[in-house]
Structure formats: structure tokens, C-alpha cells
Structure 1
């Protein structure tokens, strides 16, 4: 699955999944200089292509960076245009998602969909604390509405558990989520959904953002109820804050791409 969802993380500029470690590596690795002046988007064969000085921008596999809507292509173009003396792929999360979609997900959409369903079968929102009461209440407030939405909108009634002991989910519920996903299975959306799912630990939160049931900020907060509780009581170190900020950036990039696809 990591091979399928490969993006610029495989390059020397995104060579470690930990954003702090990655920043340390980047301090030692010169970034490529910006080699273009003008960034434009133009109609392509099936969508809108991004062009740099009139030449089509390409993925690491040399495929054209072509997105299905003008709004989506503009997001990538804006990231190219925002680069200054050097090009920093860390600051181009939508472009990396586009690369992942074109070079990987388009070829293996079923595998990506199945990976999202694996998250759904052990979704974060189904595992509840039994104490303290304050945390239990926060989880209920942040998560119950999403589970209600999944039941009413998707036909997926999921089982809850206390603690970390695995709870088996009804096959009918996972099948209902899968049916919904297959109706939203274009490569760009799938890549964005997979990224949001892996960042939050919840396929339901990702699907709720895709459906407009939650905005990205609300979904992000819901995914971090437990972490925020711990931080309030025990504090947070700077490296943990940096990792969370990097994940948040990627989460919001995925949400922007999804919105631009509609």
C-alpha cells in the first residue's frame, strides 16, 4: 500500500515520515532552485493541466499533472507559484497528493479503497474511554454525531467498545461504507480520503468531511480529543507540536482538494 500511495515522500526532500526528522535532513540537503517564471493552467485531454513557462508540469513518473477541475488545478498552480528562490515540496501538499493520485492511485484504486475500509473496521470513533468522565464526555460530544450520520446517511451501524480491545464490526456496515466509497472513487478523491483517514485514524471523519457533514477544522479536533486531553493534563513537547502541525497542514490540503473536485 505504501508503494501505491507513493508521492514525493520517496524523494530525497521528503525522506522521513517524521516531519521533525525530515526538516533536519532537509537542512543538510539543498533544495532545487525554482526554474520557472510563469505558472498557468490550461485545458488538457480530460481536465486542466498545470504548465510552467508554457510546458506541462509532470509527476515523478513523468505523467502530466492534469486535474479534473479548474479549481483543483488552480490549487496546484498556486503552490508552484508560491515557491520563491527554491522549491520546497513540503510546502506543496496538494501537488504531492496530485502526484500520488496520478502515479499511484489511478492504477490501484481498489487497493486504496480496501485500505480505507480496513481503517473503518477499527475506526477511532468506535473505541471509547471508560474514564475519566471528562474525557468520556468529550468523546461523546465529538464522535456520536458522526456515528449517527454514518448510520442515517450511509446505512452503517457500527459497534462501540471501551478501551483498546478489538470489536468486530458488522459486515453489513463495512459493506455499506464500501458501497458509498465506490461511488466516490475517482483517484484524486480517493487519495485525499486515504490521507485524511490515515492522519485521523478514522475513515468516518474523512467521509464526513467529503460529504460536507463536517468541516476540516471540526474533524481535526475530533480526531485529537484524546491527545488534547493528555496535553491539557501533562503538557506537550515541541517535537510533538511540530509533528501535529505538519499533519494538520496535510489534512487541510486534502480537504481543500476534495472541495475543489466538486
Structure 2
């Protein structure tokens, strides 16, 4: 447990980026590097996370800070190809592509909610995204993998790290792609990724507090990831403090 040791949080321009200051101390990464953030909106978000801490610092709810630390300590992604490959591995077991074969009510619900997500990506990227049911694992066509690989290579290092977290949060490359392109809200994306869980709990119930905590954590991590992708791709855009609070405290 770390007690809050600072009063004021500010950001300053430095070396082509932005630093976060805790009183007179520069915020540093776990490896001891000064945290230099290329995007002003992300720097504002990191500052807001530190500003909103209470008497003790809870690093587990500082999702933008965690992503920024990861990028800064990697000092440029030398493993971009590996990250992209792991992201695309989700396609063969993607939440929306790996369907139930029973009961009929769940099958119908998945078709209703998920078919449009798959169809729209297939049309946009001119690819095939196989959907399967039961225990069979779909084989992803080489053209699909190649097309999405080239698409992901277009993202900056910092944006790619955010995208990777979005995919991991949702266990779905398909839903994550809609989310980072802001075609789904955070709430919609998480709800779609939890469709089967929601169906089962509607029948059998759930441990309410645990379900709520898990869902809230997923929303917070996804919100940070989407912000990270967007504002590291559009560094000229601005966002005010109240907007960040809405995202951080989803």
C-alpha cells in the first residue's frame, strides 16, 4: 500500500511530448524512466488518474498510466509482428465466431447480435471471417490474416498497444475493431462480448457483486484502450477533463 505523497498534478511539454508532474517530481515508469507521452490528451488522462487518487494510491485502477508505462519502457515496439500475430490468433476462437450449437434461444440470440458485426467487417475489408459452432475450430483464410495484418501495421506503436488491450479485454478481434473505430460504445462492446454469460445468468442467476465488479473492470480497461488507440492516432485532437472522468470512471 502506497500513501499519496503529492498534492498537485500537472503536465508540461518536454522533448516533443508531455510529462506528468506530481508536485515537483516527474512521473516515472516502473523501470525508472521519465514518462514521456506523445499525446497531450493521453497525458491529461494519466494526470487525471493520479489526481483522482485518495489517501492511498491504487495502481490497479490506473489503466491509462499502465498502458503508457508499458509503451515507455518498451522504448519502441521491437515485437510489433509478434503483437499483431497474437491479436489475430483470437480470430480462430473469437467470441463472435465461436458459436453455441444449443439451446436454440442462445443460438438465435448470437445470430441476431453478432452476425452484423462479422458481415460488416467482411464487407469493409473484403475478407472472409468463418463462423463455427460446437467444438470445431475454424480455419482462417490466408487472405484474411494478411489483410488484417496490413491494417494493424498502419497503427503507431502506442495505438497498437491500446488495440491489443481492447482485443484482450473482449476476447474478440471483431468486437474490438468495431470499438476502436467507435462504431460501438464501451457498454455495447462489453455487453456483446458477454452475451453467453448474460444468457446463462438470466436462467440460473449469478453472484451479483462479482459479476458487477468483473464487468466494471472490463469497461474501465476497454475505455482506456479505446482512448489510447484514438488519441495516439489523432494527437491534434483535444479532450476536456470532464470527458476523461466519464471514460475513466465507467
TM-score, with structure 2 as normaliser: 0.85
User: Are residue 69 (structure 1) and residue 36 (structure 2) matched?
Assistant: no
Between the aligned partners of 1:64 and 1:206, the Cα distance in structure 2 is 31
Q: Is the contact made by 1:199 and 1:247 (CA closer than 8 Å) also made in structure 2?
A: yes
* Equivalent residue number for residue 58 of structure 2: 88
Between the aligned partners of 2:129 and 2:64, the Cα distance in structure 1 is 32
Between the aligned partners of 1:141 and 1:218, the Cα distance in structure 2 is 14
* Residues matched between the structures, number: 231
Residues 165, 42 of structure 1: alpha-carbon distance in 2 compared, 3 angstrom cutoff? same
Between the aligned partners of 1:141 and 1:103, the Cα distance in structure 2 is 43
User: Are residue 114 (structure 1) and residue 85 (structure 2) matched?
Assistant: yes
Q: Is the contact made by 1:159 and 1:169 (CA closer than 8 Å) also made in structure 2?
A: yes
Residues 181, 188 of structure 1: alpha-carbon distance in 2 compared, 3 angstrom cutoff? same
Between the aligned partners of 1:213 and 1:260, the Cα distance in structure 2 is 16
Question: Any unmatched runs of 5+ in structure 2?
Answer: 235-250
RMSD: 1.8
The 5 A counterparts of 1:122-137 are 122-137=93-108
Q: Tell which deviates more after alignment, 235-244 or 129-138.
A: 235-244
Q: Write the deviation string for residues 210-254 of structure 1: whole angstroms up to 9, x where unpaired.
A: 122222221111101101001101111243443333233212222
> 2:21 is paired with a residue of what secondary structure?
strand
Q: Tell which deviates more after alignment, 55-64 or 96-105.
A: 96-105
> 2:41 is paired with a residue of what secondary structure?
helix
> 2:2 is paired with a residue of what secondary structure?
coil
* Equivalent residue number for residue 153 of structure 1: 124
The 5 A counterparts of 1:2-13 are none
Between the aligned partners of 2:11 and 2:130, the Cα distance in structure 1 is 46
Q: Is the contact made by 2:190 and 2:215 (CA closer than 8 Å) also made in structure 1?
A: no
> 2:20 is paired with a residue of what secondary structure?
strand
Q: Is the contact made by 1:123 and 1:203 (CA closer than 8 Å) also made in structure 2?
A: yes
Q: Write the deviation string for residues 105-158 of structure 1: whole angstroms up to 9, x where unpaired.
A: 734322212210111233221112222222122212221122122112223311
Between the aligned partners of 1:66 and 1:120, the Cα distance in structure 2 is 34
User: Are residue 178 (structure 1) and residue 149 (structure 2) matched?
Assistant: yes
Question: Any unmatched runs of 5+ in structure 1?
Answer: 1-30
Residues 174, 122 of structure 1: alpha-carbon distance in 2 compared, 3 angstrom cutoff? farther
* Equivalent residue number for residue 68 of structure 2: 98
> 2:93 is paired with a residue of what secondary structure?
coil
Q: Is the contact made by 2:190 and 2:218 (CA closer than 8 Å) also made in structure 1?
A: no
Q: Write the deviation string for residues 177-204 of structure 1: whole angstroms up to 9, x where unpaired.
A: 11111111x2322222111211211011
Between the aligned partners of 1:191 and 1:230, the Cα distance in structure 2 is 32
Q: Tell which deviates more after alignment, 243-252 or 153-162.
A: 243-252
User: Are residue 33 (structure 1) and residue 3 (structure 2) matched?
Assistant: yes
* Equivalent residue number for residue 195 of structure 1: 165
